[in-house]
Amino acid sequence: MALYKGKCPQHERNTQCPRSTFHSPASYHTWLSDIVDSAEEYESEARAEDVNDDLPAALMLNDVEMAEKIFDAMDYSAAYLHVANVYLESFDAWAGEALGETRPAWRTVYFTGGGQRRERYRADSCGFTWAAMESPREYNFETDRLFVNASAAFCKRLFAMSKADDHATLARVIADRFTPCSGFAPFYSADLGAWLAKPLADWDHNELGTLLIACLELCNADEDSLMYDVIEGETGFHALEMGMDFDKLQASINAALVEKLYNVATDDPDEAATIKAEFPEVFARIVARDPDMFEGVSQ
């Protein structure tokens, strides 16, 4: 995740620094992608069990076959976009709680005897809003990056918090993120003095993100609680629903069953005859999906 004030102009983004992604593990090959992977694995097993419920063994789809069909029917960009939105909402509340930031919000209060009412309250929030998510063409050097808007007033409060620490934590975080090493030539200086010589109003998203990391460390923010909040809401399953083309998946499953039955009918007519005798409804249903394919085949 990267912070910036107002809109994020493309020319301000540093493409030379592979460590410019702020704090957020983004979505690819991280615990966030694991959420989607776990939901996908569960869906594969559950759907295979459901599809195979009334099928003879020769026509059953195994978990690997089902996983391939789910993969082909998935729009992962839509799935990860959903995960990113959930992550931003959770991160905003988590960081707000750690930093003591709140915003006015509405909530519904339910009464034991029935009834409800809406009330205003102060919700933990830094006031982050969605700006953009960038995904690389290839994931060999970097992962998705989530950009959010933050107010100038919020950034000033972060700077004041760091200043109260004599910028000691900020200096360490800067050194951790931007000290040159083999294969890494940072765009940013690793020297705190160079950062402080620049007006805060001119800091870009990578610099503001570094400041936020330092302030969260100062507050001993517990990232495990953030992970739990994102996972608890069944984010992976909702992401799967957002990205899955269920019609395409069902069509792919139907085509696979047709192909399996056709192969049995051509390779082992006796087995096909047994299936037709013992599973007449299944046999007729599959043949009806592509009757032309079975013309001339012994049934």
Q: What is the pLDDT of residue 172?
A: 97
Collapsing DSSP to helix, strand or coil, 283 comes out as helix
User: How far, rounded to the nearest angstrom, does the alpha carbon of residue 291 sit from its chain's CA centroid?
Assistant: 42
How much is the pTM? Answer: 0.79
Residues in the chain: 299
Beta partners for residue 122, in sequence order: 104
- The domain locations on the chain are 2-53+76-244, 248-294
- Buried b / exposed e along 59-84 (16+ C-beta atoms within 10 A): bebeeebbbebbeebbebeebbbbbb
| Residues ≥6 apart with Cβ < 8 Å to 24 | 1, 87, 91, 146
Q: What is the pLDDT of residue 12?
A: 38
Q: What is the bridge-based pairing of β-strands 2-4 and 145-149?
A: parallel
Q: What is the pLDDT of residue 98?
A: 95
Q: What is the pLDDT of residue 30?
A: 67
Average pLDDT by stretches of 10, the chain with 299 residues: 43 32 47 85 93 95 94 92 91 95 94 92 94 78 83 94 98 94 88 96 93 95 84 85 96 96 94 95 94 76
Query: Could you give the C-alpha distances from 186 to 17, 177, 189, in angstroms and in order?
Result: 5, 9, 7
Q: Phi first, then psi: what are they for 277, rounded to 5°?
A: -75, -40
CB 122 within 8 A of CB 102: yes
CB 257 within 8 A of CB 208: no
Q: What is the pLDDT of residue 43?
A: 92
First to last CA, the chain: 59
Cα gap 232→235, rounded to integer Å = 7
Closest CA to 93 of 130, 124, 128: 124
User: How far, rounded to the nearest angstrom, does the alpha carbon of residue 203 sit from its chain's CA centroid?
Assistant: 28
Cα gap 271→298, rounded to integer Å = 11
CB 195 within 8 A of CB 178: no
